[in-house]
């Protein structure tokens, strides 16, 4: 197994880097990459990363099939219309914290917008929305639905070099980015003064891993598509590098039913499976307690320009 010379985020020495797992979901069997954790900043990172060529091919040609295998038929990854329907609850959940930033018409960019499920209602509400989506299938769907979209930030900048935005969104994208500091600085350059970057990422303090320690979840969680996993501390270390004010919020997306199915069956799924028995109140309180403890599944970052 190849070993890192130091932490790729805070540069702490090799002797303070430890293996988290060699179970990398979706990796080539011939590869020896694994996930390591830095004792100092607590970031978890894949080493070695995919090569740039492997990464490009993965997102252009393989990503939807990979995600469909990972999330099952309910994820809607193989058909754009199904993807929109599958993510409606996700969209509603996000609007609970996004609505305060959308009190008047905004220029919005979403990086990694997939089927555009976040953008269509925002366009209907009078916001001017642009998407960036490297996937060929989703990109064609966006153009078919008259959403201004590009395959990369570079293509956007080449076609609209002076365009600036009030809000830049990305949801479960940052953990896929090889150089997150450079990526965030590039997005800051696309913001108007007073603009904000708002994003979601997985929290490496997910309770299924950090509290319940379910072996099947451990083999599922660490994805070849993710160079990075952050908790609140390591995300703070990252965001301090871009020298802009920021806030970090915690959220729990998956419910008690999902966690019970993981514990019982050792597999994903199960959302709302037992809600008709335990009731919404128990689910709401369960999620609140996880958030209060810090052992929740999602981090929300807000960067202010």
CA distance linking residue 213 with residue 263, whole number of Å: 9
Quick one: pLDDT band at residue 273, thresholds 50, 70, 90? very high
Kindly state the average pLDDT of the residues 187-213. Answer: 98
Q: Give the model confidence (pLDDT) of 121-154 as tens digits.
A: 999 999 999 999 988 788 899 999 999 999 999 9
Predicted pLDDT of residue 75:
56
Domain edges within the chain: 50-253+295-304
Question: Selecting from 3.40.640.10, 3.40.605.10, 3.40.50.150, 3.40.710.10, what CATH number does the domain 50-253+295-304 have?
Answer: 3.40.50.150
Q: How much of the chain exceeds pLDDT 90, in percent? A: 81
pLDDT score for 72:
52
Comparing 26-30, 112-116, 204-208, the range with the smallest average pLDDT is: 26-30
Strand duo 165-171 + 191-202: pairing: parallel
> Which is more confidently placed, 52 or 195?
195
* Contact status, residue 290 vs residue 282, Cβ threshold 8 Å: no
Q: Per-residue pLDDT tens for 47-106?
A: 998 877 777 666 665 566 666 666 555 555 568 898 999 999 999 999 999 999 999 999
Question: Is pLDDT at 27 greater than 90 in this prediction?
Answer: no
- DSSP letter for each residue of the chain: ----SB-TTT--BGGGEEEEES--BT--TT---EEEEETTT--EEEESPPPHHHHHHIIIIIHHHHHHHHH-GGG-TTSHHHHHHHTHHHHHHHHHHHGGG-SS--EEEEET-TT-TTHHHHHHTT-EEEEE---HHHHHHHHHTT-EEESSHHHHHHH-TT--EEEEEEES-GGG-S-HHHHHHHHHTTEEEEEEEEEEEEBTT-HHHHTS--HHHHHHHSBTT-SEEB-HHHHHHHHHTTTS-EEEEEE--S-HHHHHHHHHHSSS--TTTTHHHH-HHHHHHHHHHHHHHT--SEEEEEEE-
Does 156 score more than 90 pLDDT? yes
**Window from 29-33, 57-61, 204-208, 243-247 with minimum mean pLDDT:** 57-61
Give the number of residues written for the chain.
305
Q: What is the pLDDT of residues 211-261, one digit of tens each?
A: 999 999 999 999 998 999 999 999 999 999 999 999 999 999 999 999 999
Of 67 and 282, the structure prediction assigns the larger pLDDT to: 282
Query: What's the predicted TM-score (pTM) here?
Result: 0.93
- Alpha-carbon distance values, 282 to 17, 93, 286 (Å): 39, 18, 6
Question: Average pLDDT, whole number, for the chain?
Answer: 92
pLDDT greater than 70 at residue 1: yes
Tokens standing for residue 289: 């307690």
Please tell me the predicted confidence (pLDDT) of residue 136: 77
pLDDT at residue 50, as a whole number:
80
What confidence score (pLDDT) does residue 65 get?
67
């Amino acid at each position: 197994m190849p070993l890192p010379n130091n932490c790729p985020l805070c540069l702490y020495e090799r002797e303070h880097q430890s293996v988290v797992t060699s179970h990398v979901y979706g990796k080539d069997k011939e590869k020896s990459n694994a996930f390591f954790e830095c004792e100092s900043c607590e970031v978890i990172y894949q080493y070695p990363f995919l090569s740039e060529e492997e990464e490009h091919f993965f997102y252009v040609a393989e990503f939807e099939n990979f995600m469909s295998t990972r999330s099952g038929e309910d994820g809607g990854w193989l058909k754009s219309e199904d993807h929109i329907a599958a993510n409606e609850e996700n969209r509603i959940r996000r609007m609970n914290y996004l609505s305060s930033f959308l009190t008047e018409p905004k220029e919005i960019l979403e990086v990694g917008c997939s089927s555009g499920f976040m953008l269509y209602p925002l366009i209907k509400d009078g916001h001017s929305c642009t998407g960036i989506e490297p996937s060929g299938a989703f990109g064609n769907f966006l153009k078919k639905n008259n959403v201004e979209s590009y395959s990369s930030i570079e293509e956007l900048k080449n076609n609209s070099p002076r365009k600036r935005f009030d809000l830049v969104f990305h949801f479960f994208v940052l953990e896929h980015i090889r150089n997150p500091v450079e990526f965030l600085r590039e997005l800051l350059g696309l913001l108007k003064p007073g603009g904000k970057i708002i994003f979601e990422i997985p929290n490496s303090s997910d309770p299924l891993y950090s509290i319940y320690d379910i072996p099947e979840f451990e083999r599922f969680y660490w994805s070849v598509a993710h160079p990075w996993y952050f908790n609140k501390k390591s995300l703070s270390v990252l965001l301090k590098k871009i020298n802009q004010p920021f806030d970090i919020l915690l959220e729990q997306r998956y419910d008690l039913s999902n966690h019970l199915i993981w514990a019982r069956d050792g597999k994903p799924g199960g959302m709302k499976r037992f809600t008709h028995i335990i009731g919404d109140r128990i689910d709401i309180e369960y999620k609140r307690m996880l958030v209060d403890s810090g052992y929740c599944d999602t981090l929300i970052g807000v960067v202010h320009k």
